């Protein structure tokens, strides 16, 4: 070990309070320290549980990336921890401070909004091209009948288009458009014209190349600065996997912008990860290393922030499909790693693997949800019906 101290798991279980407590907690989730099952934990450093018990999810993720512990099936390890609610028993002081900071300060201000683009989405198009499906859809696929990642993403894109009741000649605004997967699909298959907003230079560059021959335009712009006077009106609006970057202080500004940009008879589809309880939307490790300033909304957050501008027509939860999506992304990442290793390095590998598998576990445990919510400004004439897919 890096400390040079000889130690054994059994001796620490017998003599160290944190080891004893951690082992007992993990046992309630049917996880054994030093066990031989795929979801059991193999610990390599004697201070591992000191770090985890005091820092919670941040300590768990950082100690894994540092190589202090391993687990063959991280996704199931995390799912078992969350089902047993062990996350509620460790590292609470740090989590409470992070939640309070997110509520009292605007971590997603216009000056900070570009950080997630620079830190995450601009990491490298080679990484995302290897990990994602050919459309480069970086959000939950739809798996009722799909057998492959590509099929699940195409099914998701078509589901969105059908929910929006797209018709040829309509104008679609995509808030947080990524590499343009939805816009390209909608333009090709539904004959619509699209404008997409992103804070990622790399997404805008590669997306524009992919959409070269389509009626699709990318704007490198924070959503709050788009269409400030409401002069542009779109028939439909979609926002897929972007609301997680908006933050409590900006929810109303976000819905203000959507309303001023939507025709009075239009439809708006919001696709977002969500949490079961208000105030539980920050994971300290994910926020620090993967999605800076990220925070997940609760259902009450969405309802309260949207009620001044929209009628909620439909709410669809298919969170379990994100488990399958993340596992498919991880499989592609693992397959591509030999060609990526030289650029990104071993520490990045452990961080990215932890990110994908940890998130898969959160959806498997139903701790995270995936919602598609359809809104109309005044109530859809004749009533709204979700397509039967």
In which residue are the tokens 């499909």 written? 321
Cα–Cα distance, 37 to 318 (Å, whole number): 29
In which residue are the tokens 């230079």 written? 201
192 contacts 220 by C-beta, under 8 angstroms: no
109 contacts 247 by C-beta, under 8 angstroms: no
239 contacts 258 by C-beta, under 8 angstroms: yes
Which of 71, 184, 358, 359 is labelled catalytic?
Answer: 359
Cα–Cα distance, 7 to 13 (Å, whole number): 11
Torsion over CA: 355, 247, 182, 215 (sign): negative
Is 359 considered catalytic here?
yes
User: Which positions are catalytic?
Assistant: 359
């Amino acid at each position: 070990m890096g400390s040079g101290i000889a130690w054994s798991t059994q001796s620490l279980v017998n003599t160290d309070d944190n080891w004893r407590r951690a082992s007992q907690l993990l046992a309630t989730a049917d996880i054994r320290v030093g066990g031989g099952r795929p979801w059991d934990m193999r610990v390599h450093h004697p201070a591992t549980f000191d770090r985890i018990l005091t820092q919670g999810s941040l300590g768990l993720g950082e100690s894994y990336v540092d190589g202090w512990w391993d687990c063959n099936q991280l996704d199931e390890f995390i799912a078992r921890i969350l089902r047993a609610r062990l996350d509620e028993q460790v590292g609470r002081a740090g989590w409470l401070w992070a939640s309070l900071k997110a509520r009292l300060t605007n971590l997603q201000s216009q000056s900070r909004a570009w950080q997630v683009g620079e830190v995450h989405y601009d990491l490298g198009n080679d990484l995302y091209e290897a990990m994602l499906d050919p459309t480069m859809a970086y959000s939950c696929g739809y798996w009722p009948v799909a057998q492959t990642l590509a099929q699940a993403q195409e099914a998701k894109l078509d589901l969105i288009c059908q929910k929006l009741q797209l018709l040829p000649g309509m104008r679609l605004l995509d808030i947080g458009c990524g590499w343009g997967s939805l816009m390209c699909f909608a333009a090709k298959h539904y004959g619509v014209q699209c404008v997409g907003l992103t804070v990622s230079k790399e997404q805008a560059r590669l997306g524009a190349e992919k959409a070269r021959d389509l009626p699709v335009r990318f704007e490198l712009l924070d959503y709050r600065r788009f269409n400030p006077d409401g002069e542009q009106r779109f028939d439909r609006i979609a926002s897929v996997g972007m609301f997680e970057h908006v933050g409590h202080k900006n929810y109303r500004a976000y819905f203000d912008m959507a309303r001023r940009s939507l025709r009075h008879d239009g439809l708006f589809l919001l696709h977002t990860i969500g949490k079961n309880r208000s105030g539980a939307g920050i994971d300290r490790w994910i926020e620090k290393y993967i999605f800076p300033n990220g925070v997940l909304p609760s259902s009450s957050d969405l309802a309260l922030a949207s009620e001044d501008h929209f009628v909620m027509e439909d709410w669809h939860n298919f969170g379990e499909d994100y488990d399958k999506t993340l596992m498919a992304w991880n499989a592609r990442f693992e397959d591509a790693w030999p060609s990526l290793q030289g650029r990104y390095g071993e520490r990045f590998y452990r961080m990215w693997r932890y990110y994908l598998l940890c998130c898969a576990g959160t959806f498997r445990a139903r701790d995270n949800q995936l919602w598609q919510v359809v809104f109309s400004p005044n109530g859809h004439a004749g009533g709204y019906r979700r397509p039967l897919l």
